Amino acid sequence: MILRGRNPFDGKPQLTLRDVAEAAGVSEMTVSRVLRNRGDVSDRTRARVYSAARSLGYVPNKIAGALASNRVNLVGVVIPSLSNMVFPDVLGGIGKVLSETPLQPVIGTSQYDPETEEKVIYEMLSWRPSGLIVAGLEHTSAAQAMMRSAGIPVVEVMDVDGDPVAAAVGISHIRAGRDMAREILARGYRKIGYLGSGSGGDHRAQKRLQGLREGLSAAGVTLTDSCFYEGASGFGTGRQMSADMLSRHPDLDFLYYNTDMNAAGGLLYCLEKGMKIPEEIGLAGFNSFEVLDGLPMRIATMDSRRTEIGQKAAELIAANALSDEIIALEPRFLEGETVRRR
């Protein structure tokens, strides 16, 4: 038998400044000054107020303060997905910088859908945050209009190939594709296949493919084949795409994947088939995920500078000034063990 008692929180009044003031033996004005970090209050009194607030479990009502300042100490961060391994590093960079300020990040996800992103941006801005960080440069016209008229620092991250609404921090994905083409060709590979996302919403991957084609074309080389997937990347996706492509073109000597996760699956497939890597066939991915360091071979990849992107974006927000600065970080090729040495 289950005995149902009265909820101990039913009818319990919310704590107020007066409760803290009485527990600390000071005035409500003094409590307000301490919790807002305003005014001249002695260290002893300040410690007494904090101790009383902690013991009571008091949490200040920041909405009231926001009504006066028209801002809350929140920074909206809109990213496509929390499951994509790219974005935790960006969030880590943002959090590292904001932890030294009164600002706190609040995360929203768009699921790579522009209409969903527009709704998330609308909800974020309705709370009057102190700043907004949004992944990518491609948004609906309504989302762009909201960001332009927000009157707060806005930073678009991950990409600089386009026309930012305000400030932007990222790498050129077109350049990353060109740089990869140059590295592949410099190592003597000529029959190259690309394995990537078929999602039209993955604009950055499409730009890398554009850069790859341009880099190959400049050297008189044409991409031999391309294969696209729908859904999530991963070992299984990489294995299947590699099997499909190599069944069509068994003479390929290089496989370039849109992400290290797919490249890892391709690597395992090629090793199982007894292919000699990197002599017979080379492989490369993108993003430089440390979690893959335990694979049989270190995959050649491009460092997308994710943590630094998050840090620099947060620094622009913390400066509390409207900016249209564009910070382009240089993508870095990491040779690994799956390509021939130059």
CA–CA gap between residue 292 and residue 313 (Å, rounded): 27
Which pTM value belongs to this model? 0.81
Residues 124 and 49 in one domain: no
**pLDDT band at residue 5 using 50, 70 and 90 as cut-offs:** very low
Residues 265 and 160 in one domain: no
Q: Which residues pair with 282 in a beta bridge?
A: 254
Number of folded domains that form the chain: 3
Residues 313 and 166 in one domain: yes
Helix 173-186 vs helix 203-218: angle between axes, to the nearest 10 degrees? Answer: 40
Amino acid 7 reads N
Residues 24 and 77 in one domain: no
- Domain ranges, residue 323: 71-171+306-328
Residues 161 and 187 in one domain: no
CATH number at residue 273: 3.40.50.2300
CATH number at residue 46: 1.10.260.40
**pLDDT tens across 100-132, in order?**
999 999 999 998 899 999 999 998 998 889 999
CA–CA gap between residue 323 and residue 66 (Å, rounded): 23
Residues 269 and 158 in one domain: no
Residues 49 and 198 in one domain: no
Residues 43 and 104 in one domain: no
Residues 158 and 265 in one domain: no
- Tokens 């991963």 label which residue? 234
In a domain, 143, yes or no: yes
Residues 132 and 233 in one domain: no
**pLDDT tens across 258-287, in order?**
999 999 999 999 999 999 999 999 999 999
